[in-house]
Amino acid sequence: MPKHQLVIMANRLPLKRSGRGAGGWERSPGGLVTALDPVLRKRGGLWIGWDGSPGRPGRSMEHEGLKIKPVGLVTKDVEHFYHGFCNRTLWPLFHDAIRPAEFNASWWESYKEVNDRFARAAARHVAKRRSVWVHDFHLMLVPQMLRALRPDLRIGYFLHIPFPPEEIFARVPWRAELVHGLLGADVVGFQTWKDAQNFSRAARHLADAEGTDARLTFHGHKVRVNSFPISIDAGEMERLAQTAAVQRRAREIKARLGGRRMFLGVDRLDYTKGIESRLVAFEQLLESDRLSAERCVLVQVAVPSRETVPEYAQTRTRIEQIVGRINGEFSHPGSVAVHYFRRNLGREELAAWYLAADVMLVTPLCDGMNLVAKEYVSTRFDGGGALVLSEFAGASHELRQAVLVNPYDLEGMATSMQRALALPKAEQRFRMSILRMIVKRHDVEEWSGNFLGALEES
Ligand code: ADP
Ligand code: G6P
């Protein structure tokens, strides 16, 4: 393989192995892939990552213009590194400790080993004095490891999830090592300035770095720290929504729901997403006769995620119980109160659902950004629809014209859902036009340009 000018590294490749169609590959779930896929397609370069199945790595390959270099995770790595340290230690800890984080020394050993494997793969494939862009919580040690192997490189790191306040982060027994790992980068980027500040404080207090929140020095190496709110390919999403096929499908969806007003949720099935809270808030609206299933429906589309991790299996069970309870109590013949689909939708189908929804419910308890909110407003070229958005999603810093809610306040959320459905037409269109303008202006192209620009300057 030739040496590359830009190398992107993330635990996930944009595609994962599947038993079904398309030559055994399907799109990987999650916001990281949604954002990075158009960036690398436009700029060219190499994506290093895992194909989602345990075993030896596949060969380097090219898929629809994307150059891909798989890194292998054997079964033990999947258990200890991915399910263990990534999804049972870092993920809950970095999401407000909503679920207790577990600390296990074997998982930590595996995390170090896998990070080392990724660093070596990058060291082999990037051209002299070029850039490597490392992504997310799976690879926090890579920047320092890669700098030791290839001091000629520019190294950027971006964290897609929140960085916790120091008092939560300090619980990790290996906190100093994690911070040292990130301090190997030239630029460390976060979704919000609060995340950036949390990191810089941790770096000063737990790892002996010196400097301000925006500029740190560690063992003579200068590190720039900033926020770079991630986004989507807004133009592409809008074009998709404007196709005749998507509009036809949106009309069909509305007709199938009997013309009822629709609340929609679209998420990875994750306990951070607040799916249970929004269902219970909807239940309260039905219970108190503020809404009826004959006039309204809630559709929840949830893509299966990390299913072998116990907290995810429990969340799924709880969601399915609540859906069953609501439907048992409030559905009528021909008007089911909640439609629940546990599946990964194609991009066209997703755009059609967005276009058909009267109110989009994005109600995470804690979320780095949340791209579903940005996708929804980008599809609404018709000016219709309303967005209910959690204050605890990074996106709420930008999308101030959404109906903002606290997902822990169920009654408040129920009232806001009802209000969003009943917004006067003029107000609803005004809010949507501003939301659309914000996402269009600050799209993924701008995000990657800002980050790579900062890396270039460093
Ligand atoms: P996260 O990265 O935590 O999953 P985001 O909201 O940032 O959260 O990104 C989720 C991405 O996954 C979005 O691009 C969204 O379209 C996609 N997605 C979520 N649920 C589904 C689903 N059921 N089917 C297809 N894509 C989905
Ligand atoms: C979030 C994380 C990504 C991750 C995605 C899907 O977006 O920030 O790094 O890829 O969830 O999760 P998974 O565990 O399936 O890769």
Q: What is the pLDDT of residue 58?
A: 84
Q: Are residues 118 and 143 in the same domain?
A: yes
Q: Are residues 279 and 218 part of one domain?
A: no
Q: How many domains, the chain?
A: 2
Q: How far apart are CA 308 and CA 290, in angstroms?
A: 39
Give me the residues paired with residue 262 across strands: 297
In the reported structure, the alpha carbon of residue 99 is separated from the centroid of ligand 2 by a whole-number distance in angstroms of 17
235-to-384, 390, 454 alpha-carbon distances in Å? 17, 25, 24
* Same domain, yes or no: 350 and 418: yes
Instruction: Give the Å distance between the CA of 33 and the centre of ligand 1.
Output: 9
Scanning the structure block, which residue is given the tokens 């192209």?
445
- Please choose, from the candidates 222, 236, 319, the residue with its C-alpha nearest in 3D space to the C-alpha of residue 270: 319
CA distance 439 to 446: 10
The residue type at 68? I
C-alpha 327 – ligand 1 centre gap (Å): 25
Residue 1 belongs to a domain:
no
List the CATH number of the domain containing 379. Answer: 3.40.50.2000
> Is position 145 within any domain?
yes
Establish if 361 belongs to a structural domain. yes
pTM: 0.97
How is residue 183 written in tokens?
A: 């301090």
* 307 within some domain: yes
Are 291 and 226 within one domain? no
User: What's the rounded Cα separation, in Å, for the pair 298 and 338?
Assistant: 5
The edge-to-edge listing of strands for the beta sheet with 261-268 is: 338-342, 296-303, 261-268, 359-362, 386-390, 403-405
Q: Is 226 in the same domain as 239?
A: no
Among protein residues, the one with the nearest Cα to ligand 2's atom 4 is 30
* DSSP codes joined into one string, 344-387: PPPHHHHHHHHHH-SEEEE--SSBS--HHHHHHHHH-TTS--EE
Query: Do 222 and 352 have their domain in common?
Result: no
Ligand 2: list residues with CB < 6 Å: 12, 29-32, 136, 160-161, 305-306
Structure token digits, residue 382: 């018709």
**Residues 405 and 334 placed together within one structural domain of the fold:** yes
For the CA of 371, the nearest ligand? 1
Considering the domain architecture, whether residues 149 and 201 belong to the same structural domain is answered as yes
In this structure, what token pair is assigned to residue 441? 């202006």
What is the reported pLDDT for 22?
52
Based on the domain organization, do 273 and 220 belong to the same domain?
no
Same domain, 133 and 202: yes
SS3 104: coil
Residues 131 and 106 both lie in one domain: yes
pLDDT per 10-residue tile (average), the chain, 458 residues: 83 86 78 94 93 90 88 97 98 96 98 98 92 98 98 97 97 98 98 98 96 97 98 97 98 97 98 98 98 98 96 98 98 96 96 98 98 98 97 98 98 98 97 98 97 95
Q: 407 lies in a domain?
A: yes
Q: What is the pLDDT of residue 2?
A: 66
Domain that holds residue 288: 234-441
Ligand 2, residues 78, 85, 268: which to mutate, most atoms within 8 A of Cβ? 268
pLDDT of residue 1: 61
Same-domain check for residues 185 and 252? no
b/e per residue, 48-82, with b = 16+ CB within 10 A? bbbbbeeeeeeeeeeeeebbbbbbbbeeebbbbbb
CA distances from 63 to 58, 66, 232, 290, 332 (A): 13, 5, 21, 51, 47
